[in-house]
């Protein structure tokens, strides 16, 4: 996110609408991308991104500048996205665990036969496998790896957004990568063993 933060904060606090537009235009893709990387749905991601900007507009007068504005915005985006995911999960709670597992097998995981048809499909399906595996990570690991890889935030920036130390973020991302590798290996082994089952 590149903009003159102190200047824009002052302008926003004095109710300058042009400054708000400037902020939105400079950061909309980052905010949207962050939301999308969690919710994986374009409409929902846009709704959440809008909520993020509305929250910024409403609370900017309280912003004391202890953290960077972008860090604050990422934090709001992550929190809103996770809350959205939780509410979606609550709505689908009626679905039994068995049904979920079965649906996951049927719908989410692509078959190897199809995988090898078209290189573009292969890429899309690998991406899908990666995203599904990221989703299955513990929450903190998911946030850290998402911000680091989808938004290209540095470890320090990720630490600022989550509110933990740099060393903790380093450990978190390393653990996340180890877990990802394990889960992806398991996934492809399952497919190899039972290609019809998926």
Partner 1 sequence: MQKQEKAMRKTAKNKIDNDVLKTLDLLEDLTQEKVRHGFYQRLNYQIEHLEEEQEIAKVSVFTRVIRLAATPALAAACIALGIFIGLGTADIKTDDYVDTLVKTYGIGLPETPQLFNTESQ
Residues forming the site for partner 1 (CB under 8 A): 21, 24-25, 28-29, 32-33, 36-37, 42, 45-46, 49-50, 53-54, 57, 123, 126-127, 129-130, 145, 149-150, 177, 180-181, 184-185, 188-189, 192
In whole angstroms, how close is the CB of 149 to partner 1 at the nearest point? 5
Total Cβ atoms within 10 A of residue 145 = 21
Token pair belonging to 186: 């398991």
Q: Which is nearer to partner 1, 49 or 60 (CB)?
A: 49
Q: Which is nearer to partner 1, 65 or 195 (CB)?
A: 195
Q: Which is nearer to partner 1, 3 or 67 (CB)?
A: 3
Contact 155, 147 (CB under 8 A): no
Q: Which is nearer to partner 1, 49 or 78 (CB)?
A: 49
In whole angstroms, how close is the CB of 121 to partner 1 at the nearest point? 13
Total Cβ atoms within 10 A of residue 72 = 20
In whole angstroms, how close is the CB of 156 to partner 1 at the nearest point? 19
Q: What Rg, from alpha-carbon coordinates, does the chain have?
A: 19
Contact 69, 57 (CB under 8 A): no
Q: Which is nearer to partner 1, 98 or 120 (CB)?
A: 120
In whole angstroms, how close is the CB of 33 to partner 1 at the nearest point? 5
Token pair belonging to 70: 């972008």
Q: Which is nearer to partner 1, 20 or 67 (CB)?
A: 20
In whole angstroms, how close is the CB of 99 to partner 1 at the nearest point? 27
* Residues 38, 48: Cα–Cα separation, whole Å: 11
Tell me which residue of 162, 139, 12 sits closest to 75, measured CA to CA: 162
Contact 159, 168 (CB under 8 A): yes
Tell me which residue of 5, 40, 2, 52 sits closest to 152, measured CA to CA: 2
In whole angstroms, how close is the CB of 134 to partner 1 at the nearest point? 8
């Amino acid at each position: 996110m590149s903009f003159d933060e102190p200047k824009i904060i002052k302008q926003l606090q004095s109710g300058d609408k042009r400054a708000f537009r400037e902020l939105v235009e400079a950061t909309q893709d980052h905010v949207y991308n962050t939301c999308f990387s969690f919710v994986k749905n374009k409409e929902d991601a846009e709704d959440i991104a809008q909520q993020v900007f509305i929250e910024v507009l409403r609370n900017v007068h309280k912003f004391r500048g202890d953290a960077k504005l972008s860090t604050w915005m990422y934090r709001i985006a992550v929190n809103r996205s996770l809350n959205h995911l939780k509410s979606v999960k609550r709505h689908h709670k009626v679905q039994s665990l068995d049904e979920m597992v079965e649906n996951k097998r049927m719908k989410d995981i692509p078959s190897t036969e199809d995988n090898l048809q078209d290189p573009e499909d292969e890429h899309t399906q690998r991406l899908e496998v990666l995203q599904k595996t990221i989703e299955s990570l513990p929450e903190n690991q998911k946030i850290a790896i998402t911000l680091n890889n989808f938004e290209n935030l540095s470890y320090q920036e990720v630490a600022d957004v989550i509110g933990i130390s740099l060393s903790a973020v380093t450990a978190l991302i390393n653990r996340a990568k180890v877990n990802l590798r394990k889960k992806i290996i398991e996934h492809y082994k399952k497919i190899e063993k039972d290609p019809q089952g998926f």
